[in-house]
Amino acid sequence: MIELLISNCGELHTLEGPDRARKGKEMKDTGCIENGAIAVDDGLIIDVGNTEKLSERYDAKEVVDATGKTVIPGFVDPHTHLAFAGSREDELVMKIQGKTYMEILKAGGGILRTVKMTREASKLQLKSEMKKRMDTMLSYGTTTAEAKSGYGLDLENELKCLEAIREMSQEHHLDLVPTYLGAHSLPPEFEDTGDYIDHCCEEVLPIIAEKKLAEFCDVFCEKGVFDSEESRKLLTKAAELGMKIRVHADEIKNIGCSKMAAEIGAVSCEHLVKSSQEDIDAMSESGVIGILLPGTPFMLMHSEYSPARRMMEAGMALALATDLNPNCWTESIQMIITLACLQMKMHPHEALTASTINAAKAINRNDIGMLTKGKNADIVILDIPNLQHLPYHFGVNLVDKVYKNGKCVVSDGSITQEG
Ligand code: NIG
Ligand code: FE
When pLDDT is averaged across residues 241-267 and rounded to a whole number, the result is 96
Q: Which atom of ligand 1 is nearest to the CA of 222?
A: 2
CATH of 2-75+369-415, one of 3.40.640.10, 2.30.40.10, 3.30.470.10, 3.30.750.200: 2.30.40.10
Identify each DSSP E strand in 78-174 by its residue range: 142-148
- Where are the chain's structural domains? 2-75+369-415, 76-362
Identify the H or E element spanning 57. Answer: helix 51-57
Q: How far is the CA of 72 from the centre of ligand 2 (A)?
A: 26
pTM summary value: 0.98
DSSP string, 171-195: HSSSEEEEEEEEETS--TT-S-HHH
DSSP string, 354-406: HHTHHHHHHTT-SSSSS-STTSB--EEEESSSSTTHHHHS-SS--EEEEEETT
User: Looking at the domain covering 76-362, what would its CATH class be?
Assistant: alpha beta
Q: Which ligand is nearest to the CA of 101?
A: 1
Name residues contacting ligand 1 (CB within 6 A). 81, 110-111, 114, 220, 248, 251, 296, 323, 325-328
Interstrand relation of 216-219 and 175-183 (parallel, antiparallel or unpaired): parallel
In the structure, how many helices (H) and strands (E) does the chain have? 17, 17
Q: How far is the CA of 371 from the centre of ligand 2 (A)?
A: 28
pLDDT at site 290: 98
Q: Which atom of ligand 1 is nearest to the CA of 271?
A: 1
Q: Which atom of ligand 1 is nearest to the CA of 151?
A: 10
Q: Which ligand is nearest to the CA of 179?
A: 2
Q: How far is the CA of 20 from the centre of ligand 2 (A)?
A: 24
From the list 333, 320, 327, 326, the residue with the least C-alpha distance to 397 is: 333
User: What angle do the packed helices 111-120 and 155-171 form, to 10 degrees?
Assistant: 70
Report the share of the chain in percent with pLDDT over 70. 99
Q: Which ligand is nearest to the CA of 114?
A: 1
pLDDT in tens, 279-304: 999 999 999 999 999 999 999 999 99
pLDDT in tens, 21-75: 999 999 999 999 999 999 999 999 999 999 999 999 999 999 999 999 999 999 9
pLDDT in tens, 207-222: 999 999 999 999 999 9
Q: How far is the CA of 338 from the centre of ligand 2 (A)?
A: 19
